[in-house]
Amino acid sequence: MSTPLESWVEESARLTKPAKIVWCDGSEAESERLTADMLRDGTFLELNQKTHPRCYLHRSNPNDVARTEQLTFICTRQKEDAGPTNNWMDPSEAKEKLRPLFDGAMKGRTMYVVPYILGPAKSPYSKIGVEITDSAYVAANMRIMSRMGKPALDRLDNSADFVPGLHSLGDLDPSRRFIMHFPEEKLIWSVGSGYGGNALLGKKCFALRIASWMARDQGWMAEHMLILGLEDPSGKVTYMAAAFPSACGKTNLAMMVSALESQGYRVWTVGDDIAWMHIASDGTLRAINPEAGFFGVAPGTNAKTNPNVMTAANRNTIFTNVAMTHSREPWWEGIDGPPADGLTNWKGEPWTAGSGPAAHPNARYTVPASQSPSLSKHWEDPEGLPISAFIFGGRRAHLAPLVYESRNWQHGVFVGATMASETTAAATGAVGVCRRDPMAMLPFCGYNMGDYFGHWLAMGAKLKNPPKIFHVNWFRKGADGKFLWPGYGENVRVLKWMLDRIEGRAAATETPIGNVPTPSSLTLDGLSISRDTLNELLSVDSSDWLAEDRAVGEFFAKFGSHIPPAVTQEQKALAGRLTRATVSAK
Ligand code: OXD
Ligand code: MN
């Protein structure tokens, strides 16, 4: 008798017709075999093994370098269950469309069966997925990004309790590329792309889209959030989870070297992209990181912006679409030091100044979390870590102050629901356009986002002490177009203010949008920032916010009856507070 997993593998093999099937065990020996195969067929290029032992470069097809949101679908029986912010397709139609694309897709290729655990191997909150893929690069990335192989099979045993994900590179033609989610069956089909977020099915597809659906049904949360611990001078660590849209600095914040280290404030990394959170029996919200590695954006990373990842990514790391120096070291825009002579760009061509970026703007490193010097020693605690604050944020050149605190949980949910950010290179499409991205989940929520806001409200009602909810904006610019706040390690000053608010120590000014720090409540010693710049960073312009609130109202209207009344009430209450403030300022 076949196990449910064996039956699904057999069925998938009948459809895709691979030349051979390899069950991945996650061992060193297997990793060496995969690497040797990829070096032989050109999937991997060897980087300088003296300076970067076991580091390899992968150059993807130039038409396949980012998530393709327009080709990503939530396939539910009722269109309304996917909601207005997702692409929708009927499940039978989606399967009908994709079956011919999978039919024979693995002819002459190897099918890798990749079992994996999302979350610490012993955590009751972890879940199992199995990805079938014809990409050795995907299998190698999954080995870093999850607990892959034998531990997953051991935990699964003969059970059917896993999320299957079928992936084939197909012919990489974007007109035959689809990333399909069937949340009602907990199934993923992805064809035509080898890019991380489209092809590493444990990441966005399972840990966010399918998991958010499961979380709504089962009373927990799957969020696009980093998890960090802020240690104070007494050694006490307070955990915070933060949601920013893709490529807005989650990894850098989670791995930050604190500018206040000499005062005893340190940041510990628990996760950099995804948080799964459950209500524990004591009523606290406990977070685990379902992942085991960092799939971070390389350009802009250097010894100042993220020293910890620079240390972590010099061994056992897969680089995708970075440039390479003549001594075969990885290189990207913003790395320490200018481009050396003899640079090869991400497409493998000789690079010359003026010939465009040498690394693709969405070039990535895949690095094991265990290699980061900032990794919390509690990062695999099976029960998860207690979350005391949520932080929402985005790139807003104007409007949003450096930081503000929401008035209460319901208002905080409204703040998250109204997040907006200028788009980045992490997804295909125009860069720098402001779009609404509630809780940074717009591309990742597996169901109707109106209902998702309702789920947030319901979770708050069940928590004994709901985490405080803050909003930050590291990206505010002055009239000269320059950033007002230095960011990176200095962001700890904002985290410290949050901690002081949690502990009832820091002062704040009440504004219509929430509580903003008084200038003296921020710890700014050692930082040269003028009083005018600080005032500009913390300012709240009521008439600009009124225009924002009107835009929010239009956004909410899209969700029709799915938008919770409490959220629209918050929108109206904000308009009232802003109008009163505008009138009294006249
Ligand atoms: C990611 C993303 O890769 O959000 O984490 O695009
Ligand atoms: Mn992400």
**420-444 burial code (b ≥16 CB/10 A, e <16):** bbbbbbbbbeeeeebebbbbbbbbb
**DSSP readout, 414-468?**
HHHHT-EEE--TTBSS-SS-EEE-GGG-TTT-SS-HHHHHHHHHHHHHH-SSPPE
Which residues are CB-contacts of 154 (< 8 A; sequence separation ≥ 6)? none
| Structural tokens at position 218 | 């089962």
Is the pLDDT score of 440 beyond 90? yes
Domain 223-290+377-580: give its CATH code. Answer: 3.90.228.20
The mean pLDDT of 441-459, rounded to a whole number, is 98
Amino acid 212: pLDDT:
98
For residue 364, the ligand 1 atom closest to its alpha carbon is 3
| Structural tokens at position 332 | 């990207």
Query: What are phi and psi for residue 196, nearest 5 degrees?
Result: -30, -75
Nearest CA to ligand 1 atom 1: 246
What CA–CA distance (Å, rounded) separates 334 from 252? 14
CA–centroid distance, residue 224 to ligand 2 (Å): 6
What CA–CA distance (Å, rounded) separates 158 from 519? 60
The ligand whose atoms approach the alpha carbon of 226 most closely is 2
Q: How many Cβ atoms sit within 10 Å of the Cβ of residue 98?
A: 25
pLDDT one-digit tens code per residue, 32-68: 999 999 999 999 999 999 999 999 999 999 999 999 9
What pTM does this model have?
0.97
Is the pLDDT score of 577 beyond 70? yes
For 4-41+70-218, which CATH class?
A: alpha beta
pLDDT one-digit tens code per residue, 530-573: 999 999 999 999 999 999 999 999 999 999 999 999 999 999 99
The mean pLDDT of 144-168, rounded to a whole number, is 98
Amino acid 132: pLDDT:
98
Higher pLDDT, residue 294 or 426: 294
The reply to whether domains 4-41+70-218 and 223-290+377-580 share a CATH topology is no
Residue with tokens 């069925």: 11
Look at residue 563 and give its three-state secondary structure: coil
Residue with tokens 């070291």: 329
For residue 246, the ligand 1 atom closest to its alpha carbon is 4
**455-489 burial code (b ≥16 CB/10 A, e <16):** bbbebbeeeeebbbbbbbbbbbeeeeeeebbebbb
Instruction: List residues near ligand 1 (CB under 6 A).
Output: 67, 196-197, 246, 273, 295, 426
pLDDT one-digit tens code per residue, 385-436: 999 999 999 899 889 999 999 999 999 999 999 999 888 887 778 777 788 9
Which residues form the catalytic set? 248
pLDDT one-digit tens code per residue, 339-352: 878 999 999 999 99
CA–centroid distance, residue 425 to ligand 1 (Å): 10
SS in 3 state form for 471-505? EECCCCECCCCCECCCCHHHHHHHHHHHHHHHCCC
Amino acid 431: pLDDT:
78
Which residues are CB-contacts of 338 (< 8 A; sequence separation ≥ 6)? none
Domains of the chain, residue spans: 4-41+70-218, 223-290+377-580
Contact at 8 Å (CB) between 395 and 385?
no
pLDDT-based confidence at residue 317 (cuts at 50, 70, 90): very high
Amino acid 304: pLDDT:
93
CA–centroid distance, residue 340 to ligand 1 (Å): 29
Nearest CA to ligand 1 atom 3: 197
Contact at 8 Å (CB) between 240 and 230?
yes
Average pLDDT, the chain: 96
Amino acid 586: pLDDT:
67
The mean pLDDT of 462-483, rounded to a whole number, is 95
pLDDT-based confidence at residue 246 (cuts at 50, 70, 90): confident
